Amino acid sequence: MSRYTKYSKLGALLFAISLTAAACGTADSGSDTDAATEPSSADQAVEDDAMEDDAMEDDAMEDDAMEDGRPILELSFDGLEPLGDDYVYEVWTVVDDAPVTGGVFDIADDGSVALPDGENHLYGHEGASAVVITIEPAVGDVPAPADTKVLAGDIADDGSVELSIGHPAALGTDFADATGSFILGTPTDDPDGNELSCVWFLSVPGPEASLELPTLPAGWVYEGWAVIDGTPVSTGRFTDGAAADNFNGFSGSAGGPNYPGEDFIQNAPDGLAFPTDLTGSTVVVSVEPDADNSPAPFALKPLVAEVPSGTTDHSNIDLGAGPVAISGEGSIVG
């Protein structure tokens, strides 16, 4: 019942009582005028009930800022992307060096926080010192944080928090020092055939390792990509830029170099045809959650380059800095 409705009903009842009292006074001219104007016991009971209801409503309004005894955690993000059906983000607050869950969420297409059906808030915890955002399985999750900690931040005295990938509790780096290059040239195919249908993250002469990337914490891997006619195609995942990756499903029958990369010779994804010409395509090195089945790169892309028009095979093409500006902010209310 709203406060307006409550007082409307109270006013109507008092008005009815006053009419009754006035009628009685007219019928009995000998009644005491002062007694007629004093509140009756019924009037007082109604007023007492109204005051009690008002106090209960005020208590309920105060409880809105701390549902179930937990402070509400309000969060917003910049650059964080939707995860799809198989994974969710989960927020944790750190209390006495132990993680306490505050709920799961995803990111809507407009970038806002999307909560599961039936949930109205994310939650903090009294005495929390930090906030950490992880990526968790949507089904079969365990009641502990996964290794894939994407954002973290310390809680300030006023309850605010700034979240970043560079926080030690998250990835611990902003990839500002990441560098690398790649070449085109198909070592797993005919020696002189289809030389522009591949990406190898190495430099020539040599070959030598070309990628300078920070070591990732547990839960994260690097992945190479070529965006061909708008479709991202993986070259494989790796943790060491000086060693082979985990994939050769598109390469030919001959052996490839011991570096990350792929020839695009066979088994083309739907909508594409191999071999191809990567001139004008985009090459990406992304940072991916280790448990991830997305067909596209994650939001963290530390190295990116477009294959220039007129490029020749077996020439070094430098990678530039890509988008890694994922961040968040929030505050604990209550």
| Close Cβ partners of 238 (under 8 Å, ≥ 6 residues apart) | 221, 222, 223, 224, 244, 245, 246, 260
What is the pLDDT, as a whole number, of residue 67? 54
pLDDT at position 3 over 80 = no
185 and 168, same structural domain? no
In 3D space, the residue among 264, 287, 285, 280 whose CA is nearest the CA of residue 202 turns out to be 285
Given a contact cutoff of 8 angstroms between Cβ atoms, the answer to whether 43 and 302 are in contact is no
305 and 186, same structural domain? yes
Structurally, the chain folds into a number of domains equal to: 3
Residue-wise pLDDT for 159-184, tens only, equals 999 999 999 999 999 999 999 999 99
Tokens standing for 267? 């088994």
What pTM does this model have? 0.79
What is the pLDDT, as a whole number, of residue 43? 55
313 and 184, same structural domain? yes
Q: Which residue has the higher pLDDT, 147 or 63?
A: 147
Q: How far is residue 296's CA from residue 281's CA, in Å, rounded to a whole number?
A: 15
Q: Which residue has the higher pLDDT, 111 or 37?
A: 111
309 and 209, same structural domain? yes
Share of the chain above pLDDT 90, in %: 71
Tokens standing for 56? 């209960």
Which structural domain range is residue 196 located in?
180-318
What is the pLDDT, as a whole number, of residue 21? 36
**Average pLDDT taken over every residue of the chain:** 84
Last residue of a domain, one of 63, 85, 102: 63
Place of tokens 């929390």: 128
pLDDT at position 279 over 60 = yes
Mean pLDDT of 330-334: 90
31 and 115, same structural domain? no
Residue-wise pLDDT for 262-271, tens only, equals 999 999 999 9
In 3D space, the residue among 186, 190, 184 whose CA is nearest the CA of residue 204 turns out to be 184
pLDDT at position 44 over 60 = no
Query: Best-predicted range by mean pLDDT among 35-39, 84-88, 221-225?
Result: 221-225
